[in-house]
A and B are shown apart, each in its own frame.
Chain A
């Protein structure tokens, strides 16, 4: 094994993860800055929003809400592509799998519940147990290899944000996808969803922008939020030290009365991003208005295969009911409040089903299924103040 990769991985762990000296220093800076900011805003809480399930994972897993001042609130925004995939896509895949088409899916989408049973199945997992042909894969590349050897008609449930997009667009652009494999594009774009959420959720003082989406789009994709909505924005890495530094960066901008885009995650993100992936994206996909499950239609927030790639398009091959503007109202199971959780309007603990009828072992709604869903993260890693309660019980001052 080449030493290089292990060494750099060890460096990430040492500097950006298991680094309590840096954490203490950064937390003291955060405390000083938050005092200054709150003096200037009459003591109102400072609200910072993230747009990535992995940032919410880091925040919750490392107990960051318990370490920062109580007057700084971290809100989880739309950052989970599985959570927002319309149920009709899952319905189509369940149906096809039971009709002899091989359906390829990621592990978390395998368990994604639809809203009404299709041929007796509520998810691809249930469809498989009923004899459906469902293959869980790590990537579109894996599906391509399987489709080539199986020669069966196959559909890939193409969930993802910009980070996943190149895994579809590159092989389609290079025309190396087997003719029997079709893409059902459920791709969604993060900046339009962020803008949509920011307009619904009340005052937000700062944005932690997603790190790997920004590797693709570039930091420039967030300029509109900083320049037009006047919200400080920092593009953050995924280690706990990255997130703490990003919070400090946002507070500094607030204290200085600034609103610009800054990159904390310099080791991976540039201003322009991956221009190769972006230009391939525009060749292969067109940007369209699209439905987000439980939320509604967000303008220019989805990607559809262009006409010249229709031979690979599952929607053309198998048909997919076009979503009516209002169909999203019925798109979640009864009493599931995933749409509100995803937008950051409520916390998982405000949903009456959280950790009761809906838990990681028996997920009822989409936000509990995906590893990037806010409800799943909170359920697994003690969101909702568990760290505070444990600290109080053992007598540790947080």
Chain B
């Protein structure tokens, strides 16, 4: 996001397009935030902290199956992470 006031923000859509959008997000917004825009309205900020959470959620599922099949949990976690090519160790840029 490039600029923000109480009502409107200027948002860079990442492909060279810059458009105004209404602010309707619950969080305080600042320049540099990455936001979710729908029909010209900012509905949320995208969370960098939780960016990889989907893969943690998935890891729990895969580890549960492995443990139920008799694999020790620590080994199961290592193997799932290896098969995801170390995704969960990556830091999110930006």
Contact = CB atoms under 8 A, between A and B. Distances in A.
A129 B29 CA distance: 43
A26 B84 CA distance: 9
B87 A15 contact: yes
Given A7-B93, A11-B51, A26 B58 contact: yes
A139 B40 contact: yes
B80 to A, nearest CB: 7
A25 B84 contact: yes
Size bracket, chain A contacts = 35 or more
Interface string A130-150: 000000001111100000000
A140 B23 CA distance: 13
Contacts of A263: 57
Contacts of B92: 8, 11
A215 B94 contact: no
A248 interface: yes
A241 interface: yes
Nearest to B37: A139
A29 B65 contact: yes
Contacts of A5: 1, 12, 14, 34, 94
A1 B43 contact: no
B9 to A, nearest CB: 11
Interface residues of B, number: 48
Name the prevailing secondary structure of the A interface residues: helix
A35 to B, nearest CB: 11
A21 B84 contact: yes
B57 A215 contact: no
A166 B40 contact: no
Given A8-B92, A163-B43, A167-B41, A141 B24 contact: no
Nearest to B32: A4
Contacts of B7: 174, 176
Interface stretch (A72-80, A274-282, A290-298): A274-282
B44 A167 contact: no
Interface of B: 1-2, 7, 12, 14, 16, 19-26, 31-32, 34, 36, 38-41, 43-44, 46-48, 50-55, 57-58, 61-62, 64-65, 80, 83-85, 87, 90, 92-94
The 4 closest A-B pairs by CB, nearest first: A139-B40, A266-B53, A7-B94, A166-B24
Interface of A: 1-11, 15-16, 19, 21-22, 25-26, 29, 32-33, 106, 138-142, 160, 163-164, 166-167, 170-171, 174, 176, 212, 215-216, 237, 241-242, 245, 248-249, 252, 262-268, 274-277, 280
Given A4-B34, A5-B12, A212-B43, 17 more contacts: A2-B32, A4-B94, A6-B94, A8-B94, A10-B93, A21-B84, A140-B40, A141-B20, A166-B41, A167-B22, A167-B38, A167-B40, A167-B41, A252-B65, A264-B57, A266-B47, A267-B50
